Amino acid sequence: MKRFILPLMVVGMVIMSCTQGEEKEGLRPNILFLLADDMGYGEPGSYGQEIIQTPVLDDLARKGMRFTDFYAGNSVCSPSRAVLMTGKHAGHATIRGNNGVFENDVWTRVPLRKDEITLGEMLGEAGYQTAFIGKWHLDDPNDESTWAMNRGFDYAIQEQWPSRFGGKQYDGLVHWINSARDSIRYDQDNYDCIDEFRTDFILEYLDQKDEDKPFFIFMSYRIPHAHERYTRNKELYAGRGWSETERRHAARITLLDGQIGRLFSKLEDMGELENTIIIFTSDNGPHSEGTHDHLFFNSAGGLRGYKRDLYEGGIRIPLIVRWKDKIEAGSISDRVGAFHDFMPTLAEVAGIETPEQSDGISLLPELLGDNSNHHEFLYWEFQLDGWNRTLPKGGFRQAIRMGDWKAVRYGVESETELYDLDKDMYETNDVAQDYPEILTKMNSIFKDARTNTEGFPFGGKVQDYKAKERYFSTSTSK
């Protein structure tokens, strides 16, 4: 990336100032995608949170559109991000769990296939300069060709656990700068939180980017994921009588909010904010790990379940989109959508064709106040992995949302549960026996909406369950 020097000629400065407005108007919009890690539907203030402070995100909602019925690609990191990055829904995506199982019953990370187009590749081909910062989780750590830098991102700062290189698991995440030959370790003693460290990278990138091309920046934050077990800031929410785990959880969300504010301020100072579409969302529902209780702050907003669940609490997530003078400020949308809608949305924003692989429908008409096309249904499936856990009924889960109907199936031999979200948003009353026609339709979708993929053998088929029974009958709980 080149650095830019201000013109020295006075005439040049005058010409630039006169034409800058016209040039900016003619540019395709920048795209800033902000992805939180495990932030629940009820954790931003604009979604009803009353304790944890998120003033920057709340202001973003006041200036943009807030979605009430939007869903992650899946209920855990890797498969959800695979849906987001490829536009394929969970029944077509290559990755269906955080790990897949292969020869000798070994569970391991499954990368995206090389023939799957990513958002970075799509927008890079369209003339965008592309940058990725943070958690990728769609790679084979030992194969650089699967890293973000080789999947469409010109500038990539990607985390990897130091255990891969002989270090301790939580001894500060290593961040690789475009390859495994240049890296920097996150020093937790010098930053309030890991996302301050990551924000420094993107602010430096903005100073060096090509000013003549629009950018696509994907900020893959770490907060509020459980694995960051330390924050330097000890003052936020101190003295509340909470456990240190809960204090730290709340503090990290507020600290993330502040880092997003730093990024917005930088873009505003550069004159880029007005021509940037900003998307904020989360990769799945709230976690309940590392002694944190997802009920403590009502992190799922009262919805049933949490991370790894296909009930609403595991997959319904916040989505806020702002595009100055394009999206009505303070608007609220109840359009039902999910992660695979981002690929056609960003393709339409960039003025290009959506890749054929995508199952999504563009959100752009909805964002601009026009009637939007709707999905007939949304489909999810999820495979628990076999690392240090039992896999009851194969660890296989499925869910469908069709209008206000929600079907859930936990296990390859389980009965299908049915909920009417219009009357029962919290999925407390299974009405499957009362609506046999709806139930039959849902079971048909469970069978037909999916394809098989390597590494995830259960697939909802009874015969697979019997053949692979050793995976969970011989496992032990952690």
Among the three residues 360, 375, 390, which one is the final residue of a domain in this structure? 375
Report the pLDDT value the prediction gives residue 80, as an integer from 0 to 100.
98
Q: Name the residue among 123, 116, 173, 105 with its Cα closest to residue 139.
A: 116
SS (H, E, C) 20-79: HHHHHHHCCCEEEEEEECCCCCCCCHHHCCCCCCCHHHHHHHHHCEEECCEECCCCCHHH
| Residue 126: partners with Cβ closer than 8 Å, 6 or more residues away | 350, 351, 352
Same domain? For 371 and 384 the reply is: no
| SS3 category, 4 | coil
pLDDT in tens, the chain (478 residues): 333 333 333 333 333 333 343 344 457 999 999 999 999 999 999 999 999 999 999 999 999 999 999 999 999 999 999 999 999 999 999 999 999 988 778 889 999 999 999 999 999 999 999 999 999 999 998 899 999 999 999 999 998 765 444 444 444 567 888 765 666 777 778 889 999 999 999 999 999 999 899 999 999 999 999 877 778 889 999 999 999 999 999 999 999 999 999 999 999 999 999 999 999 999 999 999 989 999 999 999 999 999 999 999 999 999 999 999 999 999 999 999 999 999 999 999 999 999 999 999 999 999 999 977 899 999 999 999 988 788 878 899 999 999 999 999 998 778 999 999 999 999 999 999 999 999 999 999 999 999 999 899 876 543 333 344 443 343 333 2
| Same domain assignment for residues 426 and 320 | no
Is residue 18 situated within a structural domain? no
Provide the residue range defining the domain that includes 125.
28-375
- Residues 358 and 388 occupy one common structural domain: no
368 Cβ contact partners less than 8 Å away, ≥ 6 residues apart: 326, 327
Query: Same domain, yes or no, for 365 and 385?
Result: no
Task: Answer whether residue 12 is part of any domain.
Answer: no
- Residue-level pLDDT at 457: 81
- Diameter of the chain by CA atoms? 78
Give the model's pLDDT for residue 68: 98
Give residue 473's pLDDT: 41
- Give residue 103's identity as a one-letter amino acid code: E
Phi, psi of 406 (to 5 degrees): -130, 125
Q: Domain for residue 280, yes or no?
A: yes
Which of these three, 375, 408, 427, is where a domain ends? 375
Residues 427 and 307 in one domain: no
- The reported pLDDT for the residue numbered 72 is 98
How many angstroms separate the CA atoms of 217 and 20, rounded?
Answer: 22
User: Is 383 found in the same domain as 245?
Assistant: no
Q: Model's pTM, two decimal places?
A: 0.89
Residue 401 forms part of a structural domain = yes
- Among 400, 404, 403, 396, which Cα is nearest to 379's? 400
CATH value at residue 366: 3.40.720.10
Q: Do 355 and 429 fall into the same domain?
A: no
Rg (CA), the chain: 22
Helices (H) and strands (E) in the chain, counts: 12, 18
Kindly state whether residues 90 and 171 are assigned to the same domain: yes
Per DSSP, what are the bridge partners of residue 419? Answer: 406
pLDDT at 372: 75
Would you state the structure tokens that stand for residue 156, as one six-digit string? 């990539």
| Count of residues making up the chain | 478
417 and 366 belong to one structural domain = no
| Structure-token pair, residue 59 | 């202001």
Taking the C-alpha atoms of residue 390 and residue 453, their distance in angstroms, rounded to an integer, is: 22
Both 204 and 335 in one domain: the answer is yes
Tokens for 130, please give them: 């592309």
398 and 334 in a common domain: no
Last residue of a domain, one of 341, 375, 409: 375
What letters, b where the CB count within 10 A reaches 16 and e where it falls short, cover 94-116? bbbbbbbbeeeeebebbbbeeeb
Question: Which residues are paired to 195 by β-bridges?
Answer: none
CB of 295 within 8 A of CB of 302? no
Report DSSP state, residue 193.
S
Distance CA 219, CA 241 (A): 33
- The CATH number given to whatever domain includes residue 400 is 3.30.1120
* DSSP type of residue 144: G
* Residues contacting 52, CB < 8 A, separation 6+: 43, 45, 250, 253, 254, 297
Tokens of 244: 């240190």
Cα 334 from Cα 57, distance rounded (Å): 19
Read off the tokens for 471. Answer: 């995976």
Give a yes or no: residue 20 inside a domain: no
CA-to-CA separations, 118 to 11, 150, 337, 453, in angstroms, rounded? 43, 10, 19, 18
Q: Check if the beta carbon of residue 393 is closer than 8 Å to that of residue 408.
A: no
The verdict on residue 224 lying in a domain is yes
Q: What pLDDT is recorded for position 477? A: 32
Q: Are residues 319 and 392 in the same domain?
A: no
Residue with tokens 């989109």: 321
pLDDT value of position 216: 98
pLDDT at 159: 84
What pLDDT, on the 0 to 100 scale, is given for residue 186?
Answer: 79
Provide the pLDDT for residue 180: 59
Question: Per the structure, how many domains does the chain have?
Answer: 2
Q: Which residue has the tokens 């009505």?
A: 328
In angstroms, rounded to a whole number, what is the distance separating the alpha carbons of residues 214 and 349?
A: 12
- Does any domain span residue 9? no
Is position 4 within any domain? Answer: no
